Chains A and B, each alone.
Chain A
Amino acid sequence: GENVEQHPSTLSVQEGDSAVIKCTYSDSASNYFPWYKQELGKRPQLIIDIRSNVGEKKDQRIAVTLNKTAKHFSLHITETQPEDSAVYFCAASGSSASKIIFGSGTRLSIRP
C-alpha cells in the first residue's frame, strides 16, 4: 500500500525567509497530492494541491512541486509571516477507490 514520509518534523524559520517541506510517496499510481494546514486547536484545511499531470503549481506565496520519477513533492512558502505558523500535512492519493495517506506532519514556527 501507499506510504508517505514527510520531513522535517519541525521547522523554525525567520519571518520573511522561505520554508520548504518535503514528502516522498511509494505508490507510483498515486495521482493527487494535497497539502493541508492545521492551526493550533483547529481543523485541517486545504491550502494547495497538485495532480500528477502537473509539475508545479503556485498560489501567491505558496508553491508545490512534484517529481513523479523520484516520487517526491514539496511545499514552498516564501516571505513567511507569523500566521504561517501551523502544522502542515502532505498526502497522496490514487484512484477514488484507494485510501488517501497523510504524512506525519511538519510543525512550522515563524520567528519574529
Chain B
Amino acid sequence: GAGVSQSPSNKVTEKGKDVELRCDPISGHTALYWYRQSLGQGLEFLIYFQGNSAPDKSGLPSDRFSAERTGGSVSTLTIQRTQQEDSAVYLCASSSYGQDYEQYFGPGTRLTVT
C-alpha cells in the first residue's frame, strides 16, 4: 500500500512569507508526527497528533508554527512569517497507534527561506 506522502517536496520562499506543508499519513494510522531536521542534524520533535487532537504541542519552536489535522487523516504544518532559521527538512511520520509503535516516515519537505 501507499506510504506516507508529503508535499511539496521542495519549497523556496522569501523571508516573511507564510508556508503550508502537507502530510498524508498511511491510511488507518491514528498517530501523526511532525519533525524538523536541519542539515546534518538530528530529529527535532515538533508536534504529535492522536486522531485530530494534539496531546503535546510543546515542540513547536514559536507561535509562528501551527499544525492541524482534520478527519483523522491529512495534516498541515503552517509556518507564518518565515525566517531563515526555519530552513530545514520537515519530516512527517505516522504510526498505527501511539508513540510506542513503529513510525513510518515520509520523504520530507525541504524548506529554504531566502
Contact = CB atoms under 8 A, between A and B. Distances in A.
Interface stretch (B62-70, B77-85, B100-108): B100-108
SS class of chain B's interface: helix, strand, loop or mixed?
loop
Contact of B103 (A46, A96, A103, A104): A46
SS class of chain A's interface: helix, strand, loop or mixed?
loop
B42 A98 contact: no
Interface residues of A, number: 25
Interface in A24-69: 31-32, 34, 36, 43-46, 49, 51
A98 to B, nearest CB: 6
B73 interface: no
Interface of B: 31, 33, 35, 41-43, 45, 48, 50, 55-56, 58-59, 91, 97-103, 105-108
A89 interface: yes
Most chain A CB atoms below 10 A, which of B48, B99, B102, B105? B99
Closest 4 CB pairs of A and B: A96-B98, A32-B100, A43-B105, A93-B99
A99 interface: yes
A43 B106 contact: yes
Interface string A6-26: 000000000000000000000
Interface string A89-105: 10001111111111111
B102 A96 contact: no
A100 B33 CA distance: 10
16 contacts: A32-B100, A34-B103, A45-B105, A49-B102, A93-B99, A95-B99, A96-B31, A96-B100, A97-B56, A97-B98, A99-B45, A100-B48, A100-B103, A103-B42, A105-B41, A105-B42
Given A45-B105, A102-B43, A96 B58 contact: no
Most chain B CB atoms below 10 A, which of A32, A100, A105? A100
B100 A93 contact: yes
A100 B108 contact: no
B60 to A, nearest CB: 12
